[in-house]
Chain A
Amino acid sequence: MTDDQTTMSQLAVQQRPVILEVSGLSKSFGANPVLRDISLKIHKAETVCLLGPSGSGKSTLLRCMNWLEQPDGGTVFLAGQPLGARPGGGLRMRDKELAAMRTRIGMVFQHFALWPHMSVLQNVMEAPVHVLKQTKDEARATAVSLLQRVGLAGKMDSFPARLSGGQKQRVAIARALAMKPEVILFDEPTSSLDPELVGEVLAVMQDLVREGMTMVVVTHEMGFARDVASRVVFMDGGHIVESGPPDQFFEAPQTERARQFLMRYAARNN
Chain B
Amino acid sequence: MTSYDYYSIAYGALATVSLSLISIVLGVPLGLGLALVRWSRLPVFNQLTIAYVSIVRTCPTVTLALLIFYALPVVGISMEPVSAGILTLTLSTAAFNTEIWRNALVNFPQDQYDAALSFGMNRNLRFRRIILPHISRTSLPALVSEMTLQVKSTPAVAIIGIVEITRAAIRVGARTYEPLPPFIFALVLYSLIVLAFVKTQRAVERRFAPPGDH
Touch test A–B (CB under 8 Å): no
Q: Which residues of B contact A (CB under 8 A)?
A: none
